[in-house]
Structure formats: structure tokens, C-alpha cells
């Protein structure tokens, strides 16, 4: 399902900060983030079952991240993997990707796609066939539309804002640990706050936390991506097992070409 929080021009040292979780079945084979691609210029994990990915960045400064739209009544069998959208874009970023997304929107189940050059980001929702240009501000993507007021989006955005405000006072010492703590929040929403997306209420509650722990399903990776004013990229990923134990960390830093 996934969740993504974005801060654009909210920190004096890091004009872009992204904190994201990947939620997936634990038996789905996955490679943690690594450097790959024909020119070895992409950093992301790989979904070994379908070949795509959920979030990544390349060394030219283009990035993409995906969240599914939770709408079980609209699910179509035998459609393309949504992870292809991220991996294809990272390999061949184009200025007319919106057109390609619109033309292929019926080939995929529901999704939100964050994509673009890091200084010029967009979110496309294929259910609504709607493109949003992200300007200066804070944004949250879960499994509905951009900035939908789901409890975990509201909570995560509030914590991201506080984090940016606090670290702006000492911009040389921004601490990823605090962002990972945001992403590790297991607290579930109250029943009266839960969205009604068409799944059983027991699962609405299980999926209402930022960090998900459920039977055979949950948060498998947390990623913090920062780009500073000198166009230096910092990528840190924590991967988790079904017991919510961090089992590996991947760290990459590079300058945008």
C-alpha cells in the first residue's frame, strides 16, 4: 500500500525531504535498495515478483514513488504491475510522462505516482486522471488522493512539519533517526476516524497506522531521501522482517550529475 511524506523548500539545508514506507506481503520476494540500471545510475529496491519498484532516484536527479489506491470494488485482475511505472520512469524520464500515464491509466489498478526532477515534482492519480504540481509545502500520500485527511496522513504531516521547524534552527545537524521514528509509528486510529474504503473494518484499523504490523503483511521498508542545496543526495533505507525488526540498512550518497 505504502505511504509517502514530502517537504518541499521547508528546510534551509534540504529543499527536498521525503520519508516513505513500503507496505507489502512478507512472502513477496524483494531486493533491498541498491545501485542498478544499464548505466548503474539508479538507487532503489526491486520487487522480484513483478520486476518493478516502489520508490527510487537516479543520478540525474529524477525520482519516483508509488502508492496504491485502496478501492477493492475497482480492482481488475491480470493488469500490469504498478511498480513498472516507477522503474520505467527512473530509466527513461521524459517531459511528457503525464501523457503516457493518461494513455495507460486503464492498464493498471489504482495508484498515485510521485514523479519528476527533484526541483519540479508532480503527483498523478489514475483514478481521478488528475495531475498536481507540487509547489512549496508539505504533502502526504497514502491510499486515497493527495493530502487526504486520513489520521495517519494528518499525524505524519504534523510531525514532519515539527521536525523541519526544529532542525531548521541547527540545519547542519539534521538527524534521520527522527524521520525513521515518524515512519515507525504503530499507533492505530480510533474507529470513528477510520476511512471507509470497502474493506472489512478490522483491516481498516490494521492499516490505519503509519507503520503497519498485520498477519503476513506490513511495513517492509522505510526510506528517507534528502537532497541538499548543493544537489547532494542522501538515501537511507531500513528493511524489516515480519516481527518489525530492522534486519538491514542501506545508505547511498551521491552528487546529482
Tens of pLDDT, residue by residue over 220-254, are 999 999 999 999 999 999 999 999 999 999 999 99
- Confidence at 1, pLDDT banded by 50, 70, 90: low
Cα distances (angstroms) measured from residue 122 to each of 62, 114, 174:
11, 6, 26
Q: How far apart are CA 140 and CA 10, in angstroms?
A: 14
The predicted pLDDT at position 171 comes to 64
- Confidence at 173, pLDDT banded by 50, 70, 90: low
- Confidence at 174, pLDDT banded by 50, 70, 90: confident
Q: How far apart are CA 130 and CA 143, in angstroms?
A: 15
The partner residues of 192 in beta bridges, in order of sequence, read: none
Helix axes 176-183, 151-168, angle to 10 degrees: 170
Which superfamily does CATH assign the domain made up of 3-255 to? Penicillin V Acylase; Chain A (3.60.60.10)
The predicted pLDDT at position 172 comes to 67
Q: How far apart are CA 231 and CA 19, in angstroms?
A: 18
What is residue 221's three-state secondary structure? Answer: strand
What are the sequence ranges of the domains in the chain? 3-255
Kindly give, in sequence order, each residue whose CB lies less than 8 Å from that of residue 181, ignoring residues fewer than 6 positions away: none
Residue 208 main-chain phi, psi, to 5 deg: -85, -5
- Taking residues 166-171, report their average pLDDT: 80
Q: How far apart are CA 213 and CA 203, in angstroms?
A: 11
The H or E element containing residue 17 is strand 16-25
Local structure of residue 81 (DSSP, 8 states): P
The partner residues of 240 in beta bridges, in order of sequence, read: 246
Burial class from Cβ neighbours inside 10 Å (0-12, 13-18, 19+) for residue 167 reads buried
The predicted pLDDT at position 215 comes to 87
152: cell is: 495517519
- Confidence at 175, pLDDT banded by 50, 70, 90: confident
Q: How far apart are CA 237 and CA 247, in angstroms?
A: 11
What are 193-229's pLDDT values in tens digits? 999 999 999 999 999 999 999 989 999 999 999 999 9
Question: Chain-wide mean pLDDT for the chain?
Answer: 96
Closest CA to 84 of 52, 57, 49, 111: 52
Residue 211 Rama label (left phi>0; alpha psi -120 to 50; beta):
beta
What are 45-77's pLDDT values in tens digits? 999 999 999 999 999 999 999 999 999 999 999
Amino acid at each position: 500500500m505504502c505511504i509517502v511524506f514530502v517537504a518541499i523548500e521547508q528546510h534551509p539545508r534540504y529543499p527536498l525531504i521525503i520519508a516513505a514506507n513500503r507496505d507489502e506481503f512478507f512472502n513477496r520476494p524483494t531486493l533491498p535498495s541498491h545501485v542498478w540500471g544499464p548505466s548503474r545510475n539508479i538507487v532503489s529496491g526491486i520487487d522480484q515478483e513483478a520486476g518493478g519498484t516502489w520508490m527510487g532516484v537516479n543520478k540525474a536527479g529524477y525520482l519516483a514513488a508509488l502508492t496504491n489506491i485502496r478501492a477493492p470494488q475497482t480492482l481488475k485482475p491480470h493488469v500490469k504491475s504498478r511498480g513498472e511505472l516507477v522503474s520505467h520512469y527512473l530509466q527513461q524520464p521524459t517531459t511528457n510522462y503525464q501523457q503516457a500515464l493518461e494513455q495507460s491509466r486503464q492498464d493498471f489498478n489504482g495508484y498515485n505516482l510521485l514523479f519528476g526532477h527533484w526541483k519540479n515534482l508532480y503527483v498523478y492519480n489514475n483514478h481521478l486522471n488528475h495531475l498536481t504540481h507540487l509547489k512549496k509545502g508539505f504533502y502526504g500520500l497514502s491510499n486515497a488522493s493527495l493530502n487526504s485527511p486520513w489520521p495517519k496522513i494528518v499525524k505524519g504531516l504534523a510531525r514532519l512539519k515539527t521536525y523541519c521547524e526544529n532542525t531548521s534552527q541547527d540545519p547542519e545537524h539534521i538527524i534521520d533517526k527522527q524521520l525513521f521514528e515518524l515512519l515507525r509509528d504503530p499507533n492505530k486510529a480510533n474507529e470513528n476516524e477510520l476511512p471507509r474504503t470497502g474493506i472489512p473494518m478490522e483491516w481498516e484499523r490494521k492499516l490505519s497506522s503509519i507503520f503497519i504490523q498485520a498477519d503476513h503483511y506490513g511495513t517492509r521498508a522505510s526510506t528517507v531521501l534528502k537532497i541538499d542545496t548543493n544537489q547532494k543526495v542522501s538515501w537511507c533505507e531500513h528493511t524489516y522482517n515480519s516481527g518489525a525488526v530492522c534486519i538491514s540498512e542501506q545508505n547511498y550518497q551521491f552528487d546529482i550529475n
